[in-house]
Amino acid sequence: MFWITIRRIIKSGWINFKRSGLISTAAVLITTITLSVITALILFQAMLTGAIEVVKNKVDITVFFSINTSEDQILTLKQQLEQLPEVAVVDYTSADQEVLEFRERHANDYLTLQALDELGDNPFGGSFRIKAVDSGQYESIAALLEGDSALAKDNATLIERVNYSQNKQAIDRLNALIAGSREGGLAATILFIIISVTIMFTTVRLTIYTVREEIGIMRLVGASKMYARGPFIVEGFLYGFFAWLITIALFFPLTYLVNRGAGELLGFDVYHYYIAHLAVLGGITFVVAAALGFLSSWLAVRKYLNV
Amino acid sequence: MITFVNVSKIYQNGAVALEDVSLEIEKGEFVTIVGPSGAGKTTLSKLVLAEEYPTEGTVLFENVDINALPSRSITGLRRRIGTIFQEFRLLQNKTAYENIAFAMEAAGKSDSEIVSDVPHVLQLVDLQDRMFHFPSQLSGGEKQRLAIARAIINQPEVIIADEPTGNLDAGNTLEVVHILKKINELGTTVILTTHNKEIIDSVGRRVIALEKGRLVSDEVREIKESKRKK
């Protein structure tokens, strides 16, 4: 009997969904907006993270070595630095490479190249470009190289200068921007989700308000609470399901157009990100759609069941 | 079968719907409850259906206190009572067939029972041609006949008809009363509320009069009916 009841509830919910054409369409559209807001915010967060990564990759600390420092000493220091947990990458540029790059950069600057030639010896020492695991760790890495640490003391004669203090302002601004973007993005995400979920809940409540008397009639002709409530929950689930299908389909052209229009500017391929993460995004939005449809109907019907 | 013991019902706004009403309805009776609007007729019906609870007193159905029943048992009680309302109270989104099938499904009837019984009961109330019409496509009389079909489909022990003819013309009114009498002849207890004197006279039987929530008379009018027959 249980399965017969479930079958009847599902059938009844489907028939109600089909017959309440305009109301069902309105509920599906509102749910679509809710899911679109959630999907857009997830993509926005990914885009923000992507943009921050791009900027972060442009920031580093450069360590310039004295010209008398041998390559062995530099490579030993490189190994020591790479063992530090806050250091992600250490790129070594030798003195010979430095002078080559300098010449390339000033290929059209005859006077500078002439001055370099007159010096005779290579005036450059080697250099490190150090990337931190997190942009907030540059200060501690710089302190290890410049301050009173054992590493700094051992290598004091090797290092000519560390450009952290020159980059400090840019790094600090970046850190503030990252923190601000994350907090702001999260706050906006939560706010938009609350607004759209509230609108969806209200829509479903209104659709059920229009049939509140019918719920009472069902109870009076002998329907149990579960039997009276069931079809409305199925309807709520169907709002979510169809809205989910529309949202998934809608974001293919939408992300494609955003990518075509502003992909390069943003430095983030939102279209391919959407396709690559479709399973995850689809899964999240499906769970949200099903839960919203189920919960909103459950709560809305509850009020009218006590007949 | 149904017993009211010193029942009073006072609504939250202070309106007194019933005041110290005591009565007993036997199995198989046809009872007409009469009184002007606001006399408490509908409240009395709602108390039997456990749609409302008495402020004081007890309503018993076969010696069981209705108001002490848990939700699940109230559902069971309602399956033993068929209800017909003045405003029909049909499910607007369902066809005539589905309205009746819903009551059977809710009572746990099998698909084969539904398929065989629904067309039969629709034929009984002369709605076989309106089987797949929605309530909005039916006339007032047809709606009420559909409501009657829904009320009797599960062969209830009691039918409560609350002003079932209030929205009907004279022809349909007589038809509804005729159907209710037939149902009663088959052994079902019928409680009919009305303020229409013609109906009271055409039914005869026991008449309970309410006024301002108080029971003012309880008499049998079979004599009147037999006189009219003569």
Structure tokens at A57: 């990759």
The residue with tokens 């938009």 is A192
Question: Which residues lie across from B214 on neighbouring strands?
Answer: B211
Q: Within its chain, how far is the Cα of A140 from the centroid?
A: 27
Query: Residue A52, Cβ neighbours under 10 Å: how many?
Result: 16
Q: Which residues of B111-137 are buried (b: 16+ CB within 10 A; e: fewer)?
A: eeebeebbeebbebbebeebeeebbee
Contact criterion met (CB below 8 Å) for B47 and B83: no
Among B residues 82-141, those touching chain A with beta carbons less than 8 Å apart: 83, 89-93, 98, 102-103, 105-108, 110-111
B134-163 pLDDT tens trace: 999 999 999 999 999 999 999 999 999 998
ipTM of the assembly? 0.81
Q: Tell me if chain B has a CB within 8 Å of the CB of A22.
A: no
A240-281 pLDDT tens trace: 999 999 999 999 999 999 988 887 777 778 899 999 999 999
A18, closest residue in chain B (CA to CA) = B93
B1-30 pLDDT tens trace: 999 999 999 999 989 999 999 999 999 999
Q: Which residues of B touch A19 (CB under 8 A)?
A: 93
CA distance B158 to B217: 22
A190-248 pLDDT tens trace: 887 788 788 888 888 888 888 888 898 999 888 998 899 999 999 999 999 999 999 99
Cβ contacts of A84 within 8 Å, gap of 6 or more = A141, A144
Contact criterion met (CB below 8 Å) for A293 and A231: no
Nearest-CA distance from A15 to chain B in Å?
9
Radius of gyration of chain A from its Cα atoms, rounded to whole angstroms: 31
Provide the number of CB pairs (under 8 Å) joining chain A to chain B.
Answer: 53
Q: Within its chain, how far is the Cα of A50 from the centroid?
A: 7
CA distance B90 to A218: 9
Q: Within its chain, how far is the Cα of B156 from the centroid?
A: 11
Cβ–Cβ of A222/B107 closer than 8 Å?
A: yes
A118-167 pLDDT tens trace: 887 888 888 888 888 887 788 788 877 776 566 666 666 778 888 876 66
Prediction pTM value: 0.71
The residue with tokens 């494609």 is A256
pLDDT at B215: 94
Q: Which residues of B touch A16 (CB under 8 A)?
A: 93
pLDDT at A152: 65
In the predicted structure, residue B186 carries a pLDDT above the cut 60: yes
B91-145 pLDDT tens trace: 998 999 999 999 999 998 999 999 999 999 999 899 999 999 999 999 999 999 9
Nearest-CA distance from B226 to chain A in Å?
36
B134, closest residue in chain A (CA to CA) = A19
CA distance B168 to A58: 84
Interface test with A, best of B75, B85, B87 (most A CBs within 10 A): B75
Q: Tell me if chain B has a CB within 8 Å of the CB of A8.
A: yes
A230, closest residue in chain B (CA to CA) = B106
